[in-house]
Amino acid sequence: MSTPPARDPALLLEHRAALPDEFCLILADLPRAEWAAHPDFNGLAAFWLDRHLAFRRMLDALGTEARARIDGALSAETYAARLSRLGSRLLGDLMGHHQIEDDVYFPELARLEPQIARGFEMLDADHHALHGLIDRFVTGANAVLAATRDAPQREATGRFLADLAGFDHLLARHLADEEDLVLPVVLKHRLG
Q: Binding residues for Fe ion, per CB under 5 A?
A: 101, 178
> Torsions phi, psi of 3, nearest 5?
-65, 135
Determine contact, residues 43/191, Cβ cutoff 8 Å.
yes
- Residue 26: CB minimum distance to Fe ion, A: 17
DSSP 17: S
Of 19 and 80, the one with the shorter C-beta distance to Fe ion is: 19
- Give the whole-angstrom CA distance, residue 181 versus residue 11: 13
Of 101 and 180, the one with the shorter C-beta distance to Fe ion is: 101
Of 73 and 100, the one with the shorter C-beta distance to Fe ion is: 100
- Residue 94: CB minimum distance to Fe ion, A: 9
- Residue 131: CB minimum distance to Fe ion, A: 11
- Residue 76: CB minimum distance to Fe ion, A: 34
Of 65 and 126, the one with the shorter C-beta distance to Fe ion is: 126
Of 65 and 178, the one with the shorter C-beta distance to Fe ion is: 178
- Residue 73: CB minimum distance to Fe ion, A: 32
Determine the length of the chain. 192
Contacts 24+ apart (CB under 8 A), 164-169: 164/59, 164/62, 164/63, 164/66, 164/137, 164/140, 165/63, 166/133, 167/59, 167/130, 167/133, 167/134, 167/136, 167/137, 168/59, 168/63
Determine contact, residues 80/145, Cβ cutoff 8 Å.
yes
